Structure 1
Amino acid sequence: MTLPDPSPPEIPLLQATAIRKRFGGVVALERGDFVLRAGEVHVLIGSNGCGKSTLCKVAAGAVGPDAGRLLVDGREAVFASPRAAAAAEIGVFYQELSLVPQLTVAENILLGREPGRGFVDQAALRRRAEELIARFGPPGESVCGPGFGPDAIAGDLSADQRQIVEILKVLAQDARILIFDEATSSLDARQVAVFFDIVRRLKAEGRGIVFISHRMDEIFAIGDRVTVMRNGATVATLAIAETSRDEILRHMVGAALTADFGRPGRPPATGEPILSVRALGNDRLSGVSLELRRGEILGLGGLHGQGQSALLRALFGADPALSGTVEIGGKPAALRRPADAIRRGIAYVSGDRGRHGVFPVRPIFENLVLASAARTRSPWVDRAGFIARVGPVLQRLKLKFAGFGAPVATLSGGNQQKVVIGRWLAAGPGILLLDDPTKGIDVETKHDLYRIMADLCAEGVGIILYSSEDEELLGNADRVLVFNGGRIVTELAGDRLTEFELYRAAYRAEAA
């Protein structure tokens, strides 16, 4: 009796093996492994900076790997450019939108693939764009929103409409491998539902879809398998039907990190709030309410870009709130511009010191004196008196500099950030807003800042801290408010102040 030959193993549409990528001294990918099959939606998940977007950019030809292999249909592929990847039928939706604002929706959708020979066939271009737009519903039933159509100017569109145009650009490629990196981040529930119907039809046609999302409910609604990445490496691949939200979270965090990080040990802050916020809202925030007490570090957690920085900028008057109220010391405070906040004793330190911190070509003295001058409203500065007053602050910060007349650009990144912090400490703030303040600085400087934060709390200063590093947030904050979609979704304190609980809340995984 002759047995039939076993079926040959399925050849994946796309396979990445041991992909490694370094940007300068930063290892973005240590060991990226991934297999995409035909007719599946394969989810990539992991915390901010885990390497998932870099892995997708390698597959899309936007980034060249330093090591590892990429296979398409079982054959080794080396893409020198996104155009080469597109020729291999790989279409990609990037987090960073790339529309040309002066062009129409139709022109953006078919940019680089315009119909016509030697000239653009405008009628054919418009017809093709209408066909693609119809995937989000026929006229009168479309979820694209008012004013959306092939002739609309991209620069006039809302955030969700711009995202739909980017999705349509990918669909226009008619690729066999589609990568959607945070394609639903600006879409409402109706738009997501229609987009998922589109994805299911693509899957039924035998295409392979890579889907990146930070929304746990979306992962279980659309995914077939999920690959978890942590610290630049693939740590697990699971069948969605055979796993749970908590199991995915455990792989994301790692068993060794589910315990408490070691709290600062300070007793909870008591007494009247130094800052009270009620139902604060603008285009990035929705009904945010909180209280900050003297001597407390209040953390803002959650995935990047969920409203944490928007709240801090609103409280500083840089992007004012359109609704809601703020009280400082029990009295109403109108924070329409940074000068209003400075005069009420609010200080703001941004991790993006190039845009919101230092003036690199100006002397250190001028950079230091800005906040004090704004608070006193005086056009005159007693240089000698200010230097005498700021001297102890700079010693506390361990600032290393040649002299007050030297340009800030002569300092290291860590010392430039200390200048920004020194500027505010010299003004004697009562409330300190820290917007990812240690981004891009060395470990020693980070720990100097942690020590200063603890000292300021002991002196009665209230601090609101946002950090993109979960360990930093958990290691310093007394409480953490977790943001999602511009609103606070939960508060973590006491025994719940762990990385596991932070991820659970950020990914909205409580509703298992």
Structure 2
Amino acid sequence: MAKLKISGVSKAYGATVALSRGDLELEAGEVHVLIGSNGSGKSTLCKIVAGSVRPDKGEVLLDGKPVTMSGPRASKALGIGIFYQELSLAARRTVEENICLPDLPMKGPFIDRKALSERARRYIELFDGVTGEGFAPDLTVDVLRADQRQLVEIMKTLASEAQILIFDEPTSALDRAQVDRFFEILRRLKSEGRAIVFISHRMDEIFALGDRVTVLRDGATVGTSRIADTNAQEVVRMMVGEEPTLAEHADAAPQATGPVALKLSSLSGIGFSDVSFEVRQGEILGLGGLHGQGQSSVLRALFGAGSVATGDVTLDGGAYHPHDPRAAIRAGLAYVSGDRGRDGVIQGRPILENLTPIHFLRNRLALASPSVLKAKATPAVEALKTKFASFSHPIGSLSGGNQQKIVIARWLIDRPKVLLLDDPTKGIDLAAKSDLFALVRRLAAEGMAIVLYSSEDAELLANSDRILVFNGGRITRELTGAERTRFNLYEAAYEAA
């Protein structure tokens, strides 16, 4: 009898189907790997088991008995612990306190510090020798490095002493020694009879640790195999389904022959290493791979909003030093983020004010006539088929898709030399996506150089002339011409970095 059995579980958020048919059988004493592309439903399935998301339908059996995961506390009471991909640490609490959350040992109204230290020490000692410099039990986690914070989250999950442990991409920020130690711990827990669900985007980890693998595609479980009976290429085939032909994606574009607009030489910084490429005028260069592999970090660094440690950049043949967004704007770079709330929309202000800040900065304006600004902005908003009643209306009165069109249009009032698109269609509807990419292709045809990162593989394949696949912060493969298929993209994204 399976320790945990999930059958036909589904979850939708309005018109967006996150999971259409999730099936999973988990045995005691096994590491069961979940794998699938971005948006395939892996995290949603795990969150349903952990009680943080309620399914719309389907059945969950624990030791053969139907259970309802009414919330995280109920799931925890049933012996289920989860490591979330988005860390859930309390930044201003100590390492010890975070490990023991949410069951801090108390002595009256106060934390029992002695009991806290004794309990936390058991899990800290598991990683003795690999936590690195600057790690201490009494430090608050906000001063730790990313890998150290991830280790604390793992310790916290292990401290739940749950019989079913779910790890959603727990190794993404860890180095090789930390991963090896973590895998030793998981193998020991497996030998004790614990049941472990493990999500990873690293194919080498899957075959090093797993007993079985279940593949999700487009929100549904498509198959389960024993690790000993399959191989990496077969797993990729299951993730992709029928291998698509080039005709389903972008036409085979002729190699761009215009002047080099932007060139990177051995660029390294936080989140990426030794990145070299060039993009020519009239070319759409795609950045592919799984989310968080350095694509966004490179784009933000080029715009002066991220860190560059070493390497060189040339823009239109001249040296360019990406250290400040204002300088990037005046040099002719434009950056569009899919995170409108953080990087785009000026909330509470009129549409016209949201359209024109780049125009003011690039032209060093202090004042300008509203009528002149409207005249300059109108061609840009019309090119994107942006719908709004008046330039004076607040930006919040628009749909998400139209808000993103305003963010993009602001960069086109004064045409940039290079357009950096950082997952620009995240959270917008299909019609808005269609309008955006129609404009992108037109801008490229007019000679603009464009670098596009998208977490949606179909978008990348349909709109890029070349694709550079990122894995572990590095470019691991270039796909051109007929090589631009989902199979090749997945294979490069999931192979060992």
> 2:391 aligned to 394, 404, 407, which one?
404
Structure 1 gaps, min length 5: 1-10
Worse-superposed segment, 31-40 or 306-315: 306-315
- Please list, as runs of the form range in 1=range in 2, the aligned pairs for 1:136-147 lying within 5 A after superposition: 136-137=127-128, 142-147=129-134
- Report the equivalent of 2:25: 35
Code of the residue aligned with 1:134 in structure 2: it is E
Query: Given that residues 320 and 337 in structure 1 are in contact (C-alpha distance below 8 angstroms), is that contact kept between their aligned partners in structure 2?
Result: no
Cα distance change of structure 1 residues 226 and 426 upon mapping to structure 2, 3 Å threshold? same
Matched, 1:338 2:325: yes
- Please list, as runs of the form range in 1=range in 2, the aligned pairs for 1:66-77 lying within 5 A after superposition: 66-77=56-67
Tell me by how many angstroms 1:207 deviates.
1.0
Matched, 1:51 2:38: no
- Report the equivalent of 2:267: 280
Residue-by-residue CA offset, 1:221-270 (whole Å, 9 max, x unaligned): 00000000011110000000000111111111111536553324432101
Matched, 1:134 2:125: yes
CA distance in 2, matches of 1:362, 1:128: 51
> 2:73 aligned to 65, 74, 83, which one?
83
Matched, 1:442 2:432: no
CA distance in 2, matches of 1:51, 1:444: 23
CA distance in 2, matches of 1:174, 1:409: 46
- Report the equivalent of 2:180: 193
Code of the residue aligned with 2:204 in structure 1: it is D
CA distance in 1, matches of 2:113, 2:383: 66
- Report the equivalent of 2:152: 165
Worse-superposed segment, 62-71 or 218-227: 62-71
Query: Given that residues 260 and 499 in structure 1 are in contact (C-alpha distance below 8 angstroms), is that contact kept between their aligned partners in structure 2?
Result: no
- Report the equivalent of 1:324: 311
Query: Given that residues 433 and 465 in structure 1 are in contact (C-alpha distance below 8 angstroms), is that contact kept between their aligned partners in structure 2?
Result: yes
Residue-by-residue CA offset, 1:259-317 (whole Å, 9 max, x unaligned): 55332443210143111111222222212111010000000101011111111111111
Code of the residue aligned with 2:390 in structure 1: it is G
Residue-by-residue CA offset, 1:307-349 (whole Å, 9 max, x unaligned): 1111111111122423222111110112221111111111111
CA distance in 1, matches of 2:472, 2:158: 26
Partner of 1:257, secondary structure, is coil
> 2:211 aligned to 224, 228, 233, which one?
224
> 2:104 aligned to 114, 118, 124, which one?
114
- Report the equivalent of 1:356: 343
CA distance in 1, matches of 2:227, 2:122: 33
> 1:125 aligned to 116, 125, 128, which one?
116
Query: Given that residues 243 and 487 in structure 2 are in contact (C-alpha distance below 8 angstroms), is that contact kept between their aligned partners in structure 1?
Result: no
User: Which protein shows a greater Rg?
Assistant: 1
Partner of 1:354, secondary structure, is helix
Partner of 1:255, secondary structure, is coil
Worse-superposed segment, 188-197 or 338-347: 338-347
Q: Kindly, what percent of the aligned residue pairs are identical?
A: 56
CA distance in 1, matches of 2:385, 2:51: 44
- Report the equivalent of 1:64: 54
Code of the residue aligned with 2:122 in structure 1: it is E
Code of the residue aligned with 1:132 in structure 2: it is Y
Partner of 1:449, secondary structure, is helix
Partner of 1:179, secondary structure, is strand
Tell me by how many angstroms 1:35 deviates.
0.3
> 2:228 aligned to 211, 219, 241, which one?
241
Query: Given that residues 267 and 276 in structure 2 are in contact (C-alpha distance below 8 angstroms), is that contact kept between their aligned partners in structure 1?
Result: yes
> 1:202 aligned to 168, 182, 189, which one?
189
Matched, 1:377 2:403: no
- Report the equivalent of 1:310: 297
> 1:149 aligned to 112, 119, 136, which one?
136
> 1:483 aligned to 432, 456, 470, which one?
470
- The alignment of Structure 1 onto Structure 2 pairs a total of residues equal to 496
Worse-superposed segment, 469-478 or 446-455: 446-455
Query: Given that residues 299 and 479 in structure 1 are in contact (C-alpha distance below 8 angstroms), is that contact kept between their aligned partners in structure 2?
Result: yes
Tell me by how many angstroms 1:501 deviates.
0.4
Partner of 1:286, secondary structure, is strand
CA distance in 2, matches of 1:436, 1:22: 22
- Report the equivalent of 1:505: 492
Worse-superposed segment, 388-397 or 72-81: 388-397
CA distance in 1, matches of 2:371, 2:338: 30
Cα distance change of structure 1 residues 394 and 125 upon mapping to structure 2, 3 Å threshold? closer
Cα RMSD of the aligned pairs, angstroms, is: 1.6
Query: Given that residues 357 and 410 in structure 2 are in contact (C-alpha distance below 8 angstroms), is that contact kept between their aligned partners in structure 1?
Result: yes
Query: Given that residues 18 and 41 in structure 2 are in contact (C-alpha distance below 8 angstroms), is that contact kept between their aligned partners in structure 1?
Result: yes
CA distance in 2, matches of 1:132, 1:394: 56
Partner of 2:431, secondary structure, is helix
Partner of 1:92, secondary structure, is strand
Worse-superposed segment, 47-56 or 249-258: 249-258
Worse-superposed segment, 249-258 or 62-71: 249-258
CA distance in 2, matches of 1:220, 1:260: 33
Tell me by how many angstroms 1:453 deviates.
1.1
Structure 2 gaps, min length 5: none
Tell me by how many angstroms 1:111 deviates.
1.9
Code of the residue aligned with 2:8 in structure 1: it is A
